[in-house]
Structure 1
Amino acid sequence: MSFWDVVWFIIIAFAFTAYLMMLFSIVADLFRDPETSGLAKAVWLIALVFFPVLTALVYVIVRGRGMAERNLAGRAAVQRQQDDYIKQVAGSSATPTDQIAQASALLEKGTISQSEFDTLKAKALAV
């Protein structure tokens, strides 16, 4: 095996990997798009099976902008969910003073007993 055979193999392996990544992203985008009908999705998939390179190029040309917008919208939704979760977790940890005040309010309403209040107070102070 010569040097150029190795170089050629590396180029072909790179092109094949890029091609597979493009196919997977097209298929993922097809299933992610709620506006495309099931029949249209089936036609795109059948075309990808029988004419993969041509169909991939046509798909990227025709639907490339929407593909990018759906990808960005998906990433933004994940970011919002993550931010909401962080805010929820960060907001739920009240200071010991807040926890004791909440327990005191529950004691005054009669929702909890004095022993439950003492337990909550000890737990808040132990944190």
Structure 2
Amino acid sequence: MDSDYPLLSVFLYMLWFFCFVLWLFLLFTVVADVFRSHDLSGWGKAGWTALIVILPLVGVLAYLIIRGSSMHERQARQAAAAADLWRAQVRQAAGRPSPADELTRLADLRDHGVISANEFEREKTKILA
């Protein structure tokens, strides 16, 4: 039959490959969610992992049926926490002056007599270190 319809064979192989990749994605997503869950105890995580390893199809389907509704919530919480952390790091990096700006500010303070030359040199070594 394969030699009668070579295009059909190619299509079926592509379909099986797509299903395999989809299965791997689902399997890794479920395993990652098991370990991401803070509401599961260590024994619960071990039980779900054992079930998924021993009976993959049954374990994944059972996990999706029993705990699938909260998977999205955990994923959304993790994405929001990562976005907040990124925003905080960007704000911190943007708010901190560069060493050149800090040295310019210190030179202005020295030129206006606010700090002495010794204080300027001490602060300059701190900035450049």
TM-score bracket for the superposition, by shorter chain length: 0.7 to 0.9
Structure possessing the higher relative contact order (Cα contacts under 8 Å, 6 or more residues apart): 1
**Cα shift at 1:67:** 1.0
Q: Note the alpha carbon deviations across 1:6-63, whole angstroms, 9 max, x for none.
A: 1111111111110110010111111111221111111111111222112211211211
Aligned to 2:31: 27
Segments of 5+ residues of structure 1 without an aligned counterpart are none
Q: Secondary structure at the match of 1:89?
A: helix
Percent identical across equivalent pairs?
27
Q: Pick closer, same or farther for the CA change 1:46–1:108 going to 2, 3 Å.
A: same
CA RMSD for the aligned pairs?
3.2
Deviates more, 1:19-28 or 1:38-47: 38-47
Change in Cα spacing, 1:55 to 1:115, as seen in structure 2 (3 Å) is: closer
Aligned CA distance change for structure 1 residues 97 and 23 (closer, same or farther; 3 Å): closer
Closer, same or farther in 2 for the Cα pair 1:115/1:74, shift >3 Å?
A: closer
Instruction: Out of 31-40 and 73-82, give the one that drifted further.
Output: 31-40
* Gap runs ≥5 in structure 2: none
In the superposition, the TM-score normalised over structure 2's length comes to: 0.74
Tell me, what secondary structure is at the counterpart of 1:113? helix
SS at match of 1:65: helix
